[in-house]
Amino acid sequence: MSAFVEASRAATPGVVDDVAEQARIAAGKLKDSIAYSQPDWDTTRSIENFSDLAVGEWVEFSKTISEGDVTAFAECSGDTNRLHLDDEFGAETQFDGRIVHGTLVSGVMSAALARFPGVSIYVSQEMEFVGPVKPGERVTARCEIEQELGDGMYQLSTRVCDESGAEVITGEAVVLFQPPE
């Protein structure tokens, strides 16, 4: 076991193991991604049925990005940038403290997409990081269908807002939606 994993486990007991267990559970045979949830996760969506996918339909997904999330993401991605992990270093930056990995924050958009009815498959994503997120902040991703492209593909607007409602990521995605099995 790496020294980083040992330090992560010491700093956040059970979190690294819990993330692995959560991934195993989520990989199970769920008919709808919205069925797998944690107490801190909230989902709202404008539709319930795959047959109702259309321009204007949307999903929102919210969660708090915890210290454990940041630590686990650093471990699984290999992104150990001090800006995300070192309090003293972060305090000396323009952010006045550590910030969450932008890619971790953007993953909340993927979580929102997974909560559309059916199966969602990312085809492309363009995004701009417009603001930081601090560990412990709650974020909300909103994905809205803007255009039907044909053959089950749609263009969506995507954004993530922090707990004050300020946008921290904006973008557009192309997603292929398939009916549930």
Question: Using CA atoms in the order 179, 154, 171, 24, what is the torsion angle rounded to 10 degrees?
Answer: 10
Does 136 lie in the same domain as 81?
no
For residue 1, name the pLDDT band (cuts at 50, 70, 90): very low
Domain count, the chain: 2
* Domain co-membership, 83 together with 113: no
pLDDT for res 56: 98
Looking at the fold, whether 13 and 25 belong to one and the same domain comes out as: yes
Closest CA to 160 of 173, 175, 148, 147: 173
pLDDT per position as a tens digit, 43-68: 999 999 999 999 999 999 999 999 99
Tokens of 124: 């492309």
pLDDT digits (tens, 9 = 90+) for 87-144: 999 999 999 999 999 999 999 999 999 999 999 999 999 999 999 999 999 999 999 9
**Do residue 173 and residue 134 come from a single domain?**
yes
Return the pLDDT at 181: 77
Same domain, 105 and 72: no
| Consecutive H or E run containing 149 | strand 138-150
> Which pLDDT belongs to residue 37?
75
Give the pLDDT confidence of 157-175 residue by residue, as tens digits.
Answer: 999 999 999 999 999 999 9
- The span from the CA of 46 to the CA of 56, in Å, is 9
In a domain, residue 35? The reply is: no
Sequence letter at residue 19 = V
The β-bridge partners of 129 are 169
Q: Are residues 117 and 178 in the same domain?
A: yes
The string of pLDDT tens digits covering residues 16-43 is 456 555 555 555 544 555 566 788 999 9
- On whether both 138 and 170 belong to a single domain, the answer is yes
CA angle (19 as vertex; 126, 96 as ends), nearest 5 = 60
Rounded distance, CA 149 to CA 175, Å?
10
Domain housing 140: 40-65+101-181
Amino acid present at 42? D
Which residues are paired to 157 by β-bridges? 144, 172
What is the pTM assigned to this prediction? 0.81
Residues 85 and 162 occupy one common structural domain: no
* Average pLDDT score, the chain: 87
